[in-house]
């Protein structure tokens, strides 16, 4: 899938991309469903995004989530992380919850900031980069993936959890799931419905601005050699010519 920036206002061109689910969020939905299967409760999908995000919501519902909340409003166009996290935090205020589960990063922005921002905004515990989640009553314990291994981190609910892709294997929606999803409740909220001040989101409410951008020129074709018993030697010569060895 190709991602582009829009020339008009230097925002991510969301028209040009399919409304597919951010890959890591499939792991978040899967983990939520597993926790529900083990401990009971309900799974609500929350997304802030354009009309097209409905496709993502449907997919999550057909995987087995119970209901969804979609915050959609032209005022949100161009929101950066600061603004998006505000919208998510406000919308969370309309949903009763013990755990919020997110992916560690989005495939487009790749910032890995939303879960931490959400924890900061809501005051809930931050349990991020989880490769394993264990719930015991109101206590949540995770293995937090680190540069050198992992940390065991514990908190009481409510907590904000973000998951890495090693945590599980997301299920595919079944035919039955796809049919059932059509009847599941989907609440649509405008910015005003969610109690968000429109001036604090969108391009105007964001804390960052893109000055200019350029598509990177295609790389010059490199040298490719076929190994005829001397491929390793030729590579060594190349490395020497680059003064690497």
Partner 1 sequence: MAEVLVLVEHFEGTPKKVTLELLTLARSLGEPSAVYVGAGYDNAKAALAEYGAQKVYIAADTELDNYIIAPKAEVLAQIVGSSSPAAVLIPSSPEGKEIAARLAVKLDSGVITDAVGVSDGFVCDQSIFGGGYTVKSKVSKGTPVITVRPNSTPPEPSPATPSEEQVSVTLSDAAKKAKVLERVSEKKGGRPELTEAEIVVSGGRGLGAAEHFALIEKFADSLGAAVGASRAATDAGWYPHQNQVGQTGKTVSPQLYIAVGISGAIQHRAGMQTSKTIVAINKDPEAPIFELVDFGVVGDLFDVVPQVTEQIEARKG
Ligand X SMILES: Cc1cc2nc3c(=O)[nH]c(=O)nc-3n(C[C@H](O)[C@H](O)[C@H](O)COP(=O)(O)OP(=O)(O)OC[C@H]3O[C@@H](n4cnc5c(N)ncnc54)[C@H](O)[C@@H]3O)c2cc1C
Q: Which is nearer to ligand X, 59 or 90 (CB)?
A: 59
Closest by Cα among 74, 59, 108, 103 to 191: 74
CA–CA separation, 212 and 235 (whole Å): 39
Residues 62 to 91 in contact with partner 1, rule: CB under 8 A: 80-82, 85
In angstroms, what CA-CA distances link 71 with 87, 135, 224? 8, 29, 50
CA–CA separation, 167 and 202 (whole Å): 33
139 lies in the binding site for partner 1 (CB under 8 A): no
110 lies in the binding site for ligand AMP (CB under 6 A): yes
Instruction: Please check whether residue 180 is in contact with residue 62, taking contact to mean a CB–CB distance below 8 angstroms.
Output: yes
Q: Tokens 């000055």 identify what position? A: 211
Q: How far is the CB of 147 from ligand AMP (least distance, A)?
A: 18
Which H or E run contains 147? none
Q: Which is nearer to ligand AMP, 75 or 114 (CB)?
A: 114
- Interacting residue with ligand X among 153, 165, 190, 200 (CB under 6 A): 165
175 lies in the binding site for partner 1 (CB under 8 A): no
Instruction: Tell me the per-residue interface mask from 13 to 42 with ligand AMP, x by CB under 6 A, - otherwise.
Output: ---------x-xx--x--------------
Q: How far is the CB of 244 from ligand AMP (least distance, A)?
A: 34
CA–CA separation, 59 and 105 (whole Å): 19
Picked from ligand AMP, ligand X, partner 1, none, the partner binding residue 136 (CB below 5 to 8 A depending on kind) is none
23 lies in the binding site for ligand X (CB under 6 A): yes
Number of residues that make up the chain = 245
Number of other residues whose CB lies within 10 A of the CB of residue 30:
20
Q: Can you read off the two tokens belonging to residue 161?
A: 């959890």
103 lies in the binding site for ligand AMP (CB under 6 A): yes
- Interacting residue with partner 1 among 57, 88, 119, 181 (CB under 8 A): 119
Q: Which is nearer to partner 1, 23 or 42 (CB)?
A: 23
Residues that bind ligand X (CB under 6 A): 23-24, 165
């Amino acid at each position: 899938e190709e991602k582009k920036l829009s020339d008009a206002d230097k925002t991510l061109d969301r028209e040009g991309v399919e409304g597919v689910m951010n890959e890591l969020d499939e792991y978040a939905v899967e983990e939520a469903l597993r926790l529900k299967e083990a401990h009971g409760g309900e799974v609500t999908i929350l997304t802030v995004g354009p009309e097209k995000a409905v496709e993502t919501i449907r997919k999550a519902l057909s995987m087995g989530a119970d209901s969804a909340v979609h915050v959609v409003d032209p005022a949100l166009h161009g929101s950066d992380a600061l603004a998006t996290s505000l919208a998510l935090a406000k919308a969370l205020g309309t949903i009763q919850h013990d755990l919020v589960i997110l992916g560690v990063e989005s495939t487009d922005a790749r910032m890995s900031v939303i879960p931490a921002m959400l924890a900061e905004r809501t005051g809930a515990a931050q349990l991020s980069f989880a490769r394993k989640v264990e719930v015991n009553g109101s206590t949540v314990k995770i293995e937090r993936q680190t540069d050198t291994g992992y940390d065991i981190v514990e908190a009481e609910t409510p907590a904000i959890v973000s998951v890495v892709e090693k945590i599980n294997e997301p299920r595919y929606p079944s035919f039955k799931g796809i049919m059932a999803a059509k009847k599941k409740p989907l609440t649509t909220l405008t910015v005003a419905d969610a109690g968000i001040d429109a001036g604090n989101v969108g391009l105007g409410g964001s804390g960052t601005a893109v000055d200019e951008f350029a598509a990177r020129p295609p790389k010059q074709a490199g040298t490719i050699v076929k190994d005829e018993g001397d491929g390793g030697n030729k590579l060594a010569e190349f490395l020497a010519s680059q003064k690497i060895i």
